[in-house]
């Protein structure tokens, strides 16, 4: 591939090759695809066993829906893989506006669930713009980063990107959805980091963040302006002392921890009680990993972990392979997003992170989350395909 | 912007970007390692500990039992119903753990609720220690004053609750008490039995009678509320509620009027005894009673052991809980004679026409046997022998009838006709009874449990229903109905059908025939004629009672010797003669001659059943009669 300069792929003739060719299948990352499908299948199976008794008379309620979301997501993934992601650069303002607008609409008109507005209810399904917003933010922010690379001073660029990233973050924080807000923040930081922001800027950001944190947690409440809601503060701190806190979030952490631990080496299978007898709420969404841990034990948990490692490895590899900086930035953002969500979600399930409400990509039940994740993987495939078709030249990244 | 700067420098263009990617990669490796080793620690190293915690995680169950099904008579009237009461319950787990406080609370509670402390302690001690969250009912039907007081002072009574509880009502008082039986909390031993699987301490189940036999219908679905609790018993989630289902109703075959008449007639003698009236074709029990009896509502109230003993298990109480109609093991006296007659005729010892001379005595070895009242009857055929109940006639048959090993002519026929084993009625605790035979007696002798081996005297005793024979009124009713219906050994039943609360039939009890016994019609007719004559023609043993009875019946008296007790009276009848529908058996312990006590009871029952007035007593011609 190093010297192939043509955009016309080598001629191959075998049955179905035309169709595969049109889908760019030969240029897609097979390992990434395998890992994705592996997680989807494992996720559907786990969802099936975890929710058999949730809705009387409809044991496959969640499985059928999740499978439908997966199929929609996979179709979009293949569609995205056919498109050259580089075109999105020109649409950055539109994409960014769409994201901010949808989040704002949700904030104003969305359906409230448990005291927070996160979803828009459409006739057949409700969707959660903040999940898609993650992917849109990666695509738009990466484009802005490259824009700023061309002009402006270091400090101004850093500040501009920060503002662009933190504005939607703040909107999501207001929903309130602390977990997704943090993911947005992580995506912003990743964009800055990959684009080569100086370490001194990160140090400055850290200092400002520390001051803000002290303000939010200590000063503001002291003067009567609570910024974090009670349950958010509780969630963030309860994991530090799980056994002496009777409140709900500590209960969940405790139950999840017991569930995962009780799974042992090979799992409890049908004997699973923690995740079967309603001890653990939200077991099909945020605590699906506890179900895996209890049912399939260390063997199952390690398998899931390896599949995620596979995804992250391929994302990092695609970062390097990308034909341009834009692809590198997008792949990096996706890698950071996946890493963060996997680490935080599993971390909650195994008692090393606070409960923040971050979904486990491809495994947690939920259409928006699954489809958004598959869109992100579609972007990775698009970057991979484009790198195969247009191998990077020395000059290209410069010109972009 | 070093990206721009570096990019132009060829070889080094990629290094800063590669460095940042490497940092990201390092971060990824770090994160995955943290998760991996944490999982390793949780699942592989500490898996057992967490497994124990998972198993310790529990659901607290609050059980709620709906009303038991009602027990109805054959016409649908409620014989056993329900009433809702407020019950005082103690949850031992929630009582103060300190002995002094505990004692203080319980004694205050006893005073407030008008109970005795020992009774409460005993009730608590009976609780299954392996079941947490169990509750013990210490009093049902709290008065409003008691409820107000306890509710107001709830805080001073930790571990004490007031809950709605259904208890049984008995509109007819002690009528058919043993037949219905009682319902009570499931015992520790019962929890291990398959018929009570899925139950928990505190659940109420049938303990005897119909309540026991049909418990799975009557019990209904026990509702529960499961509350997930943490290790310290705090609720930690939403409860899941399964509502209680009322039990299904059981409709008996019992005719309430015949039942009441029978019990009144039996009760009028003030002696222990029992009766049973049964449809001879279907085995449906029309009435069944046993004396002494008891007030079944006793079991719906908390009681002390001392009181229970005084009422139910002291010698003076004469075991009122026992249903003598199915569990009494008595010799039957002469009511056994038709069985001997069947065996002798079918076994070819004689024909219906064979005349046997009754000279009033029979010498067997050194012993001389006499008829009762030293009567002398002269030449008799089978029909007349049954009519006058000649002992000598049947002694001779007993002497002639072969008996060897565990069988014998009379023994085998008695067994065929339903004696010596349970009839299979749908009631618990049925006694099998005993048909004595050489092998049985010789075994006892070999084990030094009796003074002599089997002799022909035992067979002679058996031929007239004396000696070691043990049977109950129900078995005799089955034997007589077999003779009367032409050979069908029916399986008696007291339940006609099971209905749901709306009266829809869920299950019907189908009449069953255990086996058919072939009896030569001529032989059968000779016996039935004898039984007819015994009741209806002058000289018959029960002619004084039935001589003027408006319905032609067949009946046989019996007087069983139960040394050291006074004689036990028996009477078994089938009616009407020619086309019998009903068989009635009655026995009265210490009742003397059958004609004096047992026959009048049967007469009352038949009069009620056929809705006729019993005729005036008839006077037998002055010939010497025997039982």
Mutate to test the interface with A, among B12, B37, B40, B50 (most CBs of A within 10 A): B50
- B64 inside 8 A of chain A by CB: no
**Cβ contact (<8 Å) for A149 and B3?**
yes
Single out the residue of A210, A292, A283 nearest to residue A252, CA to CA.
Answer: A283
The model's pTM: 0.58
Paired residues of B63 in beta bridges: B224
Helix ranges (DSSP H) in B114-248? 117-125, 144-152, 177-180, 188-191, 209-213, 215-218
**Cβ contact (<8 Å) for A305 and B35?**
yes
Q: Residue A243 has what pLDDT?
A: 44
Q: Show which of residues 259-288 on chain A sit within 8 Å of chain B, judged by CB atoms.
A: 259-265, 268, 273-274, 277-279, 281
**Cβ contact (<8 Å) for A277 and B59?**
yes
Residue B568 to residue B572: CA distance in whole angstroms: 13
Measured between beta carbons, the chain B residues lying within 8 angstroms of A195 are 3
Residue B425 to residue B421: CA distance in whole angstroms: 11
Residue B459 to residue B437: CA distance in whole angstroms: 8
- B57 inside 8 A of chain A by CB: yes
**pLDDT interval class at A234 (50, 70, 90):** low
- Nearest chain B CA: its distance from A346 CA (Å): 7
Q: Residue B366 has what pLDDT?
A: 80
- A257, pLDDT greater than 80: yes
Which residues neighbour A141 within 8 Å (Cβ) at sequence distance 6 or greater? A96, A161, A164, A165, A187, A188, A191, A333
Q: Residue A398 has what pLDDT?
A: 37
| Residue ranges in chain B modelled with pLDDT below 50 | 1-13, 128-133, 231, 624-627
Paired residues of B121 in beta bridges: none
In contact, B69 and B250? CB cutoff 8 Å: yes
**Cβ contact (<8 Å) for A350 and B13?**
no
Mutate to test the interface with B, among A145, A251, A261, A326 (most CBs of B within 10 A): A261
- Residue owning tokens 């490796």: B29
CA neighbours closer than 13 Å in the CB half-sphere of residue A256: 31
Whole-angstrom CA distances from B139 to B45, B109, B306, B333, B547 are: 52, 11, 17, 48, 55
- Nearest chain B CA: its distance from A126 CA (Å): 26
Tell me the count of A-B CB pairs closer than 8 A: 145
Output A55 or A157, whichever has higher pLDDT.
Answer: A157
Residue B556 to residue B568: CA distance in whole angstroms: 14
Mutate to test the interface with B, among A262, A278, A294, A344 (most CBs of B within 10 A): A262
- Nearest chain A CA: its distance from B228 CA (Å): 7
The phi, psi pair for B184, rounded to 5°, reads -160, 175
Single out the residue of B137, B134, B123 nearest to residue B200, CA to CA.
Answer: B134
Pairing of the two strands B568-575 and B582-588: antiparallel
Paired residues of B512 in beta bridges: B491
- A242 inside 8 A of chain B by CB: no
| Token digits of residue B195 | 């018929």
Provide the phi-psi class of B24: left if phi over 0, else alpha when psi is between -120 and 50, else beta: alpha
Which residue in B has a C-alpha nearest to residue A248's C-alpha? B236
**Cβ contact (<8 Å) for B42 and A195?**
no
DSSP for A257-302, please give it. Answer: HHHHHHTTTT--GGG--TTTTTSSTTTTTTTHHHHHHHHHHHHHHH
- Residue owning tokens 């909107």: A171
Q: Residue A239 has what pLDDT?
A: 54
Residue B343 to residue B397: CA distance in whole angstroms: 9
Residue A231 to residue B535: CA distance in whole angstroms: 92
Q: Which of B40, B51, B237 sits opposite A298 (nearest CB)?
A: B40
In contact, A199 and A187? CB cutoff 8 Å: no
Q: Show which of residues 337-376 on chain A sit within 8 Å of chain B, judged by CB atoms.
A: 339, 342-343, 346-347, 350-352
- Residue owning tokens 């003076």: B316
CA neighbours closer than 13 Å in the CB half-sphere of residue A157: 24
**Cβ contact (<8 Å) for B20 and A397?**
no
Which residue in B has a C-alpha nearest to residue A312's C-alpha? B28
Q: Print the SS3 string covering A65-120.
A: HHHHHHHHHHHHHHHHHHCCHHHHHCCHHHHHHHHHHHHHHHHHHCEEECCEEEEE
Which residue in B has a C-alpha nearest to residue A346's C-alpha? B35
- B231 inside 8 A of chain A by CB: no
Q: Residue B481 has what pLDDT?
A: 97
Residue B341 to residue B523: CA distance in whole angstroms: 9
Which residue in B has a C-alpha nearest to residue A260's C-alpha? B43
**Cβ contact (<8 Å) for B42 and A328?**
no
The SS3 call for residue B370 is strand
Q: Residue A233 has what pLDDT?
A: 66
**What value does the mean pLDDT take over residues A9-25?**
70
Q: Which of B1, B49, B59 sits opposite A261 (nearest CB)?
A: B49
Q: Residue B238 has what pLDDT?
A: 72
Q: Residue A227 has what pLDDT?
A: 64
Single out the residue of A336, A360, A335, A357 nearest to residue A346, CA to CA.
Answer: A360
First to last CA, chain B: 130
The pLDDT tens digits for A272-300 are 766 665 566 677 788 889 889 988 999 99
In contact, B408 and B398? CB cutoff 8 Å: no
- Residue owning tokens 């699954």: A370
In contact, B109 and B161? CB cutoff 8 Å: no
**Cβ contact (<8 Å) for B17 and A279?**
no
Indicate the angle between helix axes B391-400 and B337-346, nearest 10 degrees. Answer: 50
- B28 inside 8 A of chain A by CB: yes
The pLDDT tens digits for A317-375 are 999 989 888 999 999 999 999 999 999 999 988 988 888 888 899 999 888 999 999 99
Q: Which of B24, B38, B55 sits opposite A335 (nearest CB)?
A: B24
Q: Residue A179 has what pLDDT?
A: 86
- B4 inside 8 A of chain A by CB: yes
Q: Which of A268, A319, A342 sits opposite B21 (nearest CB)?
A: A319
**Cβ contact (<8 Å) for B236 and A251?**
yes
Average pLDDT in chain A: 82
Pairing of the two strands B512-516 and B554-560: unpaired
| Token digits of residue B455 | 């002799």
Residue B326 to residue B289: CA distance in whole angstroms: 10
Pairing of the two strands B222-229 and B58-65: antiparallel
If you ran DSSP here, which 8-state letter would residue A7 be given? Answer: S
The pLDDT tens digits for A91-102 are 999 999 999 998
Q: Residue B242 has what pLDDT?
A: 78
**Cβ contact (<8 Å) for B16 and A196?**
yes
Q: Residue B13 has what pLDDT?
A: 43
Paired residues of B582 in beta bridges: B279, B575
Q: Residue A396 has what pLDDT?
A: 44
Cβ–Cβ contacts within 10 Å for residue B200, how many?
17
Q: Residue B346 has what pLDDT?
A: 95
Measured between beta carbons, the chain A residues lying within 8 angstroms of B48 are 264
- A1, pLDDT greater than 50: no
- Nearest chain A CA: its distance from B153 CA (Å): 28
**Cβ contact (<8 Å) for A262 and B1?**
no
The SS3 call for residue B68 is coil
| Token digits of residue A309 | 């490692």
The pLDDT tens digits for A68-91 are 999 999 999 999 999 999 999 999
Strands (E), B57-213: 58-65, 71-72, 78-90, 136-139, 160-169, 183-185, 204-206
Residue B506 to residue B271: CA distance in whole angstroms: 40
Q: Which of B7, B36, B54 sits opposite A397 (nearest CB)?
A: B7
DSSP for B594-605, please give it. Answer: TTTTHHHHHHHH
Which residue in A has a C-alpha nearest to residue B47's C-alpha? A264
Q: Show which of residues 302-331 on chain A sit within 8 Å of chain B, judged by CB atoms.
A: 302, 305, 308-309, 312-313, 316, 319-320, 325, 328
In contact, B2 and B20? CB cutoff 8 Å: no
Gyration radius of chain B over CA positions: 36
| Token digits of residue A191 | 């964009």
If you ran DSSP here, which 8-state letter would residue B270 be given? Answer: T
For residue B497, the surrounding DSSP H or E stretch is: strand B495-499
């Amino acid at each position: 591939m190093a010297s192939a300069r043509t955009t016309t792929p080598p001629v191959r003739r075998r049955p179905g090759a035309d169709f595969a060719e049109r889908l760019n299948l030969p240029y897609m990352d097979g390992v990434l695809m395998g890992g994705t499908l592996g997680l989807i299948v494992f996720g559907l199976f786990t969802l099936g066993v975890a929710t058999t008794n949730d809705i009387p008379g409809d044991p496959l309620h969640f499985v059928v829906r999740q499978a439908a979301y997966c199929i929609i997501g996979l179709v979009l993934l293949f569609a995205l893989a056919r498109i050259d992601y580089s075109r999105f650069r020109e649409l950055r303002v539109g994409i960014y506006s769409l994201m901010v607008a949808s989040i704002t609409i949700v904030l104003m008109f969305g359906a409230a669930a448990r005291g927070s507005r996160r979803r828009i209810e459409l006739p057949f399904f409700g969707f959660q713009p903040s999940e898609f917003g993650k992917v849109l933010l990666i695509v738009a922010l990466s484009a802005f980063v490259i824009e700023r690379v061309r002009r402006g001073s270091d400090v101004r660029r850093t500040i501009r990107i920060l503002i662009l990233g933190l504005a939607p973050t703040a909107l999501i924080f207001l929903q309130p959805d602390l977990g997704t807000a943090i993911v947005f923040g992580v995506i912003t930081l990743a964009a800055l980091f990959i684009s080569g922001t100086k370490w001194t800027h990160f140090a400055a950001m850290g200092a400002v963040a520390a001051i803000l944190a002290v303000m939010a947690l200590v000063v503001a409440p002291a003067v009567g302006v609570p910024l974090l809601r009670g349950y958010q503060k509780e969630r963030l701190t309860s994991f530090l002392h799980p056994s002496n806190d009777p409140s709900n979030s500590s209960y969940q952490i405790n139950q999840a921890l017991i569930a995962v631990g009780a799974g042992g080496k090979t799992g409890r299978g049908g004997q699973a009680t923690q995740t079967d007898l309603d001890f653990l709420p939200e077991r099909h969404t945020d605590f699906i990993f506890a179900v895996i841990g209890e049912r399939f034990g260390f063997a199952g948990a390690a398998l899931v972990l390896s599949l995620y490692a596979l995804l992250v490895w391929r994302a990092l590899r695609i970062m390097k392979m990308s034909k341009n900086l834009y692809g590198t930035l997008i792949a990096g953002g996706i890698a950071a997003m996946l890493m963060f969500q996997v680490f935080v979600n599993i971390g909650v399930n195994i008692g090393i992170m606070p409960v923040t409400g971050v979904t486990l990509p491809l495994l947690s039940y939920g259409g928006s989350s699954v489809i958004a994740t598959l869109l992100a993987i579609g972007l990775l495939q698009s970057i991979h395909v484009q790198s195969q078709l247009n191998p990077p030249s020395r000059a290209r990244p410069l010109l972009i | 912007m070093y990206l721009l700067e570096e990019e132009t420098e060829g070889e080094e263009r990629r290094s800063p970007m590669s460095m940042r990617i490497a940092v990201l990669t390092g971060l990824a490796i770090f994160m995955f390692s943290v998760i991996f080793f944490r999982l390793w620690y949780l699942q592989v190293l500490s898996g057992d500990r967490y497994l124990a915690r998972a198993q310790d995680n529990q659901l607290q169950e609050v059980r709620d039992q709906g009303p038991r099904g009602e027990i109805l008579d054959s016409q649908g009237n409620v014989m056993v119903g329900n009433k809702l009461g407020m019950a005082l319950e103690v949850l031992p787990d929630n009582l103060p753990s300190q002995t002094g406080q505990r004692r203080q609370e319980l004694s205050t509670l006893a005073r407030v609720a008008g109970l005795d402390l020992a009774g409460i302690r005993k009730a608590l001690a009976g609780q299954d220690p392996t079941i947490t969250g169990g509750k013990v009912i210490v009093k049902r039907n709290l008065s409003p004053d008691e409820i107000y007081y306890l509710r107001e002072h709830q805080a001073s009574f930790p571990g004490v609750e007031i809950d709605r509880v259904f208890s049984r009502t008995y509109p007819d008082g002690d009528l058919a008490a043993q037949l219905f039986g009682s319902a009570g909390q499931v015992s520790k031993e019962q929890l291990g039995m398959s018929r009570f699987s899925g139950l928990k301490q505190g659940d109420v189940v049938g303990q005897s009678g119909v309540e026991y036999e049909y418990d799975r219908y009557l019990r209904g679905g026990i509702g529960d509320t499961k509350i997930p609790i943490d290790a310290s018993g705090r609720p930690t989630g939403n409860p899941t509620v399964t509502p209680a289902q009322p039990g299904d109703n059981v409709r008996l075959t019992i005719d309430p009027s015949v039942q009441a008449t029978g019990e009144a007639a039996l009760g009028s003698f003030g002696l222990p005894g029992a009766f049973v009236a049964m449809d001879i074709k279907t085995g449906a029990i029309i009435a069944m009673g046993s004396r002494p009896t008891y007030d079944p509502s006793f079991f719906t109230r908390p009681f002390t052991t001392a009181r229970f003993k005084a009422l139910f298990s002291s010698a003076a109480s004469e075991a009122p809980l026992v249903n003598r109609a199915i569990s009494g093991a008595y010799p039957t006296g002469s009511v056994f004679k038709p069985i001997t007659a069947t065996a002798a005729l079918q076994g070819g010892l004689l024909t219906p026409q064979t005349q046997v001379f009754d000279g009033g005595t029979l010498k067997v070895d050194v012993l001389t046997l006499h008829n009762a009242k030293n009567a002398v009857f002269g030449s008799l055929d089978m029909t007349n022998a049954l009519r006058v109940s000649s002992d000598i006639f049947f002694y001779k048959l007993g002497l002639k009838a072969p008996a060897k090993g565990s069988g014998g002519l009379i023994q085998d026929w008695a067994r065929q006709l339903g004696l010596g084993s349970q009839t299979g009625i749908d009631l618990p605790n049925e006694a099998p009874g005993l048909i004595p035979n050489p092998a049985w007696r010789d075994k006892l002798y070999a084990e030094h449990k009796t003074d002599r081996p089997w002799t022909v005297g035992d067979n002679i005793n058996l031929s007239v229903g004396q000696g070691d024979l043990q049977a109950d009124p129900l078995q005799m009713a089955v034997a007589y109905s077999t003779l009367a219906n032409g050979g069908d050994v029916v399986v008696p039943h007291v339940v006609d059908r099971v209905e749901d609360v709306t009266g829809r039939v869920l299950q019907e009890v189908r009449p069953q025939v255990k086996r058919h016994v072939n009896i030569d019609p001529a032989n059968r007719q000779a016996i039935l004629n004898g039984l007819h004559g015994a009741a209806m023609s002058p000289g018959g043993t029960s002619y004084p009672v039935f001589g003027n009875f408006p319905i032609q019946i067949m009946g046989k008296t019996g007087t069983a010797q139960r040394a050291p007790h006074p004689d036990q009276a028996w009477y078994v009848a089938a009616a009407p003669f020619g086309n019998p529908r009903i068989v009635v058996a009655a026995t009265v312990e210490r009742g003397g001659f059958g004609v004096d006590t047992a026959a009048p009871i049967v007469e009352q029952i038949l009069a009620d059943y056929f809705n006729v007035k019993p005729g005036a007593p008839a006077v037998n011609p002055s010939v010497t009669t025997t039982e």
